[in-house]
Structure 1
Amino acid sequence: MTTSTGTARVGELDLCFEEFGDPNDPAVLLIMGLGAQMVFWRTEFCEQIAAAGYHVIRFDNRDCGLSSKLDGVRTGLTSLPLAMLRFEFGRATSGTAYTMTELADDAAGVLDHLGIDRAHIVGASMGGMIAQVFVAEHAHRTLSATVIMSSNNRPLLPPPGPRQLLALLKPQPAHATREELIEVALERGAVIGSRSYPAAADVARAHAAEYFDRSHYPAGFARQFAAILGTGSLVRFDQRILAPTLVMHGSEDRLMRLTGAKAVAKSVPGARLTVIDGMAHDLPRVLWDEIIGELTQHFASA
């Protein structure tokens, strides 16, 4: 399996990326979610898609992983409860460091750097939000769209499960050690991940350690979360999407509820919704054949 790693210069940012497969095959751009590094798209997951005849690209969003960090830039959030209340009613928070539009432009910049005209766009969680904006704003660059475990933040959607949201937003202990922060990550994964398909304890710990050692940057998480609030409802983007669109969601996801996926599928003309039984807010390895099968079938039909 051919792989290569590099850095794309996009405006003033350096975005770390990795490629899998034959560059002459149709491109698949994988966009990860809130505070999630590109390695959350596991190497073997990417290789399995590439083996089906695709050129797979994963990358770190700005403020995450090995991509540029906006050190010292404020989030623009003066009151998180007030921002969340406005968000629930579809109102965007003003003054944030950036929005989903800039993050979608970053993704387009990665394709520009690689000389790729068009790609299948796949986003998970916040990455699914970025994907919705991308395929609306960069329709000519899109072969197909896939939105996984995400939402369009339509006004008055049921909010995330309080336990899951607390696990995601819980402040990390000050002056915590590496081991303590790995434990925090494991606890978060246990709450938002698939209870029907939990990862083996040693595998989960190894992954958490890998993520921490590669990059630990809570400030970027805060700015990315502010970007979600600063963009508000994505319905205005969904209604402009022309690309064939697959919406994929787990039946057990309590962080991004199934109602969010249904809202996306309803807003995007001609979108198809598929529900993965037993999946929550993660991509369990035991479900990869089903998930990747859905993806490659969608790519081929597009």
Structure 2
Amino acid sequence: MPTRMITKDEVTLWSEGIGDPADAPLLLIAGGNLSARSWPDEFVERLAAAGHFVIRYDHRDTGRSSRYDFALHPYGFDELATDALAVLDAWQVRAAHVVGMSLGNTIGQLLALDAPERLLTLTVMLGGALDVDFDADLEAALKGEPSVSGLPVPSRRFLDMMMLLQQPAGTDEELLERRVEKWRLLNGEGVPFDSDEFRRRELLAAGHAGTFDEPIVHHMIPQPPVSRGAELARITTPVLAIQAMCDPAAPPPHARHLADRIPGARVVEIENMGHALPLAVHEPLAAAICAHTRAATV
């Protein structure tokens, strides 16, 4: 598949195009600390087969994109959003269907607010609305207190286990196993976890990046001001909010909360899906995304 290295303000971004360039462009925006490889090849190929030219890319500080000392070169969500626009520019795409998961869910909302002319549609999943103070909610969860937003938060056990998996590991094999165990937690309990499937994916991701070490930089980025949530009411891009019904990180009704703040936004629920993309959810997830993109172009 064709790849392009993009230079933007001294940042280099790796990107890849899959499918027929004459088809409707669809940009995939990955989650925090994840490269383009977090979008499984099988899933990407489904989207391409449905009539999309799919573009995926490595966030800065992931995969083959530029890596920096965050303390010396800090950045925020605004820079990550303009990275996405730079990727579209490099592929000479005026406007695209955009799909964002987790951190990409937040970036997608910012794009719909600040660069609506570049979006044909927006699909968001595995995250929350801009008016949700996730940092405050997580702090409350760690203290065993109710969330500030009033929305469900990850369980204390889930948070404790995720923090345990951030501890230093030694060999590449240990690092690989830790990465697989992280996905076991994020997968939730709705879909049986296939460790071989995720081990294969993590080997591909590590080979792509050239290291088994996982980046953690994006955990340091402050979330956008909660006040931006009030702006969601002015979004005119057709929006689909997908709720993974077994998501341990952004449980129901986060997608409904987001959709209720955007005129005309729709919600699709994917039963048994967690905060991951196992093979079992590819078909219903791709079907929901493609139905949304087709409806906007009829």
In 1, Cα distance between the equivalents of 2:117 and 2:17? 22
In 1, Cα distance between the equivalents of 2:267 and 2:122? 12
8 Å contact from structure 1 (residues 198, 284) kept in 2: no
- Residue 20 and residue 126 in structure 1: after superposition, are their counterparts in 2 closer, same or farther (change >3 A)? same
Match of 2:239 among 245, 250, 257: 245
8 Å contact from structure 1 (residues 69, 220) kept in 2: no
8 Å contact from structure 2 (residues 40, 277) kept in 1: no
SS of equivalent residue, structure 2 residue 287: helix
Q: Could you tell me the percent identity over the aligned residues? A: 30
Aligned to 2:77: 100
In 2, Cα distance between the equivalents of 1:107 and 1:259? 27
Aligned to 1:285: 279
- Residue 238 and residue 164 in structure 1: after superposition, are their counterparts in 2 closer, same or farther (change >3 A)? farther
Aligned to 2:179: 185
Aligned to 1:74: 71
Aligned to 2:262: 268
Aligned to 1:122: 99
Q: Given the two structures, how large is their TM-score scaled by the length of structure 2? A: 0.86
8 Å contact from structure 2 (residues 33, 218) kept in 1: yes
Establish whether residue 16 from structure 1 lines up as the match of residue 14 from structure 2. yes
In 2, Cα distance between the equivalents of 1:33 and 1:249? 15
Superposition map of 1:159-170 within 5 A = 159-170=153-164
Q: Deviations over 1:155-184 (max 9, x none)?
A: 423333323333444464436111111111
Q: Deviations over 1:6-58 (max 9, x none)?
A: 21112211111110111111100000001111111111211111111111000
Deviation at 1:118, TM superposition (A): 0.3
8 Å contact from structure 1 (residues 119, 141) kept in 2: yes
8 Å contact from structure 2 (residues 125, 242) kept in 1: yes
SS of equivalent residue, structure 1 residue 231: coil
- Residue 65 and residue 168 in structure 1: after superposition, are their counterparts in 2 closer, same or farther (change >3 A)? farther
- Structure 2 unaligned regions, length at least 5: 134-147
Establish whether residue 201 from structure 1 lines up as the match of residue 195 from structure 2. yes
Q: Deviations over 1:245-294 (max 9, x none)?
A: 00002111111122322221111121101110101101221221111111
Establish whether residue 231 from structure 1 lines up as the match of residue 229 from structure 2. no
Establish whether residue 143 from structure 1 lines up as the match of residue 136 from structure 2. no
In 2, Cα distance between the equivalents of 1:278 and 1:219? 27
8 Å contact from structure 2 (residues 176, 199) kept in 1: yes
8 Å contact from structure 2 (residues 243, 254) kept in 1: no
Letter of the aligned partner of 2:282 in structure 1? W
Deviation at 1:204, TM superposition (A): 2.1
- Does 236-245 or 183-192 show the bigger shift? 236-245
Aligned to 1:91: none
In 2, Cα distance between the equivalents of 1:212 and 1:17? 16
Deviation at 1:188, TM superposition (A): 1.2
In 2, Cα distance between the equivalents of 1:47 and 1:106? 24
In 2, Cα distance between the equivalents of 1:237 and 1:21? 35
- Residue 32 and residue 169 in structure 1: after superposition, are their counterparts in 2 closer, same or farther (change >3 A)? farther
- Structure 1 unaligned regions, length at least 5: 76-95
Aligned to 1:299: 293
Aligned to 1:213: 207
In 2, Cα distance between the equivalents of 1:217 and 1:134? 31
8 Å contact from structure 1 (residues 172, 181) kept in 2: no
8 Å contact from structure 1 (residues 247, 274) kept in 2: yes
- Residue 7 and residue 170 in structure 1: after superposition, are their counterparts in 2 closer, same or farther (change >3 A)? farther
Deviation at 1:220, TM superposition (A): 4.1
- Does 242-251 or 8-17 show the bigger shift? 8-17
- Residue 285 and residue 219 in structure 1: after superposition, are their counterparts in 2 closer, same or farther (change >3 A)? closer
Aligned to 2:45: 47
Deviation at 1:209, TM superposition (A): 2.5
In 1, Cα distance between the equivalents of 2:163 and 2:60? 19
SS of equivalent residue, structure 2 residue 263: coil
